[in-house]
């Protein structure tokens, strides 16, 4: 988890990347938690989610987001170490 100090020291491109990642995550969660699609949509769109339960899909998404957050934090730590080595 980022601290206020980390957020203050982030570059503009890091902030943009984090913002884009957050938007993607919100979009995925919104897709998973949205109401069922109307019958007027094609069956192919509904078939994507029909092979697994909604709860399994949500749990998998949460697990993926947790792994993403861990790897993001690891990457930030490595980046800081790299910058320190270059100095």
Summarised one tens digit per residue, pLDDT across range 61-86 is: 999 999 999 999 999 999 999 999 99
pLDDT in tens, 35-61: 555 555 555 555 555 678 889 989 999
Residue linked to tokens 């988890």: 1
Q: How far apart are CA 35 and CA 59, in angstroms?
A: 18
> Is 87 in a helix, a strand, or coil?
coil
Q: How far apart are CA 55 and CA 67, in angstroms?
A: 18
Q: Where are the domains of the chain?
A: 52-87
The percentage of residues in the chain with a pLDDT greater than 90, rounded to a whole number, is 33
Cβ–Cβ under 8 Å, residues 58 and 32: yes
């Amino acid at each position: 988890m980022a601290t206020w100090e980390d957020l203050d020291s982030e570059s503009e491109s890091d902030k943009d990347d984090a913002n884009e990642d957050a938007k993607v995550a919100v979009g995925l969660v919104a897709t998973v938690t949205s109401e069922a699609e109307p019958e007027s949509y094609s069956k192919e769109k509904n078939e994507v989610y029909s092979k697994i339960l909604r709860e399994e899909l949500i749990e998998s998404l949460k697990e993926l987001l947790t792994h993403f957050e861990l790897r993001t934090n690891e990457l930030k730590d490595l980046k800081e170490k790299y910058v320190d080595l270059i100095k």
